[in-house]
Chain A
């Protein structure tokens, strides 16, 4: 056990392991690229949906249930399914990651919108704001803390799951896990897993801090 951790430490800090197209720096960049792009696509789909159902109060049942359904989808199954349909491309990876991220963003956005005090919305209308002004000047800013929580949760989940890109022969930190498994190289498997866990935790902490800084004026 001790030997394993020592080797892991050596693997993680060796300069040679960090450089080159197969190095950690490059894999990390790939991993973040897949994760951010997938989360952005998910946000582009989920935010308008969440805002719309939150603002109108209509379609909430359908949207929330579809979200729960999306959450229950097995990611690897989805990757294989889209892979069989589309062949070798990044499509299976992005479809699976987006499907994973959408539910968290929709439900949090919707929750944020419904948590806005109806008195405040009434006052906004009463001061002469039009529907889009109520949405963008009052509801959206007030829902923003919960919306950001949704984005953060989605991003963390996606980062933790983006290892599957390697499953269909692409890069990212999953490369170490899948290659390590194939080569029976436990140090490499563990190194990849630890790196994924560390960036997930670091991102979570950083985004939480950002949220606290942005909303420090808000009542608790």
Chain B
């Protein structure tokens, strides 16, 4: 049994020795003790049938545990009226699950209306939320099937946030959208979370999504066993066993580099007189590398300049791709500040890895 207690901060959701066995005899969740701190994103990952969705659904009593206790905000969920409990917890599901016969605005107003806010107040709140999740006001009058998958998912998030619940449950919310939209939605979620500081429980089978979003990641194994629960860096640096290591994949060392930024990596002046020269425009924005051995009118080799907030993984990628073995560094406006050598990046990548292993 893995007990997962973050130790610091207020606890919002507590699982204590929770078991769930379905009538057909399968054990979905096995002896789970897991605490989720207030204001953090806890990601539940694992392959299908590992009990992560059941775990999530026990929090708002969509599923009741066979034994054990679950507390939200210190109160046992089984002691509360299920419908009232659910109104106090935001719930986002895959495919959004929007009501096709209601306008987007009315979809978002669902929980406020159930709470008896009255139509005007509920609609006003819904209109506010459209903006919060980055949808135009006109979208409110449309029907769900008139929106794209990504937009529907935003409406799903807005609906979950409508009554301003402290807890948000998200069951593979971005599973059905294409990778580009998924990345956008992930960014938006992180931006929203910065503003709102909800306690979020997020279920996914995508380890990259878990690493991107999670403050803590709980890895489940088939049969409903919690195998490891740790911060993304700790998980990637020190997987508890072969199962977790396999699940993280062969590139877990590289994934770890996606968690560290370039900020601490030193930079020097751009080279002059060497074979490869960096060409800048008048605003000092890098345009590309010029091969001084090649004819004058030869096309430039493209460059992807990086900011201090970019991940070490991107720098490693750029260092491998750059003909000069150098990474161009720019400030927030895109103007060149200097270059960093492949070697410096390698040294820092190795150090970041070692530090994560020790710190964890």
Which residues of A does B touch, CB under 8 Å?
117, 119-120, 122-130, 133, 138, 141-142, 217-219
Chain A residue contacts of B100, Cβ below 8 A: 117, 120, 142, 218-219
Chain B residue contacts of A217, Cβ below 8 A: 101, 143
CA distance A219 to B83 in the complex (A): 29
CA distance A141 to B102 in the complex (A): 10
Chain B residue contacts of A138, Cβ below 8 A: 99, 101
B87 sits at the interface (CB 8 A): yes
Chain A residue contacts of B85, Cβ below 8 A: 128
Do A125 and B97 form a contact, CB below 8 Å, given A133-B114, A219-B145?
A: no
A117, A128, A133, A219: the one within 8 Å of B84 (CB) = A128
Pick 7 A–B contacts, CB within 8 A, sort by A.
A119-B93, A122-B93, A122-B97, A123-B99, A217-B101, A218-B143, A219-B143
Chain A residue contacts of B145, Cβ below 8 A: 219
B95 sits at the interface (CB 8 A): yes
Contact B97 A123 (CB under 8 A): yes
Do A127 and B87 form a contact, CB below 8 Å, given A119-B95, A133-B114, A219-B100?
A: yes
Contact A123 B91 (CB under 8 A): yes
Min CB distance A130 to B, Å, is 5
Which residues of B does A touch, CB under 8 Å?
60, 62, 83-88, 91, 93-101, 110-111, 114, 143, 145, 159
Those 6 A-B pairs whose CB atoms lie nearest each other, nearest first: A123-B97, A128-B87, A128-B86, A219-B145, A126-B91, A119-B97
Chain B residue contacts of A142, Cβ below 8 A: 99-101
Do A128 and B62 form a contact, CB below 8 Å, given A120-B99, A217-B143, A218-B101?
A: no
Chain A residue contacts of B84, Cβ below 8 A: 128
Chain B residue contacts of A141, Cβ below 8 A: 101
Q: Which among A126, A141, A218 has the greatest number of chain B C-beta atoms within 10 A?
A: A126
Contact B62 A125 (CB under 8 A): yes
Chain A residue contacts of B83, Cβ below 8 A: 128-130
CA distance A190 to B254 in the complex (A): 86
Min CB distance A41 to B, Å, is 28
Min CB distance B116 to A, Å, is 12
CA distance A10 to B331 in the complex (A): 93
Contact B101 A127 (CB under 8 A): no
Min CB distance A114 to B, Å, is 16
Min CB distance B156 to A, Å, is 8
B88, B94, B99, B143: the one within 8 Å of A124 (CB) = B99
CA distance A52 to B117 in the complex (A): 30
Closest partner residue, chain A, to B144 (CB atom): A219
Min CB distance A170 to B, Å, is 42
Chain B residue contacts of A123, Cβ below 8 A: 91, 93, 96-99
Contact B101 A126 (CB under 8 A): no
Chain A residue contacts of B110, Cβ below 8 A: 127, 129
Chain A residue contacts of B88, Cβ below 8 A: 128
Contact B97 A128 (CB under 8 A): no
Contact A127 B93 (CB under 8 A): no
Chain B residue contacts of A128, Cβ below 8 A: 83-88, 111, 114
Contacts A142-B101, A217-B143, A218-B100 aside, 10 further interface pairs with beta carbons under 8 A come to: A117-B100, A122-B93, A123-B91, A124-B99, A125-B62, A126-B91, A128-B87, A129-B114, A141-B101, A217-B101
Closest partner residue, chain A, to B85 (CB atom): A128
Closest partner residue, chain B, to A140 (CB atom): B101
Min CB distance B126 to A, Å, is 13
CA distance A142 to B98 in the complex (A): 12
Chain A residue contacts of B114, Cβ below 8 A: 127-129, 133
Contact A127 B95 (CB under 8 A): no
Chain B residue contacts of A119, Cβ below 8 A: 93-95, 97
Contact A122 B101 (CB under 8 A): no
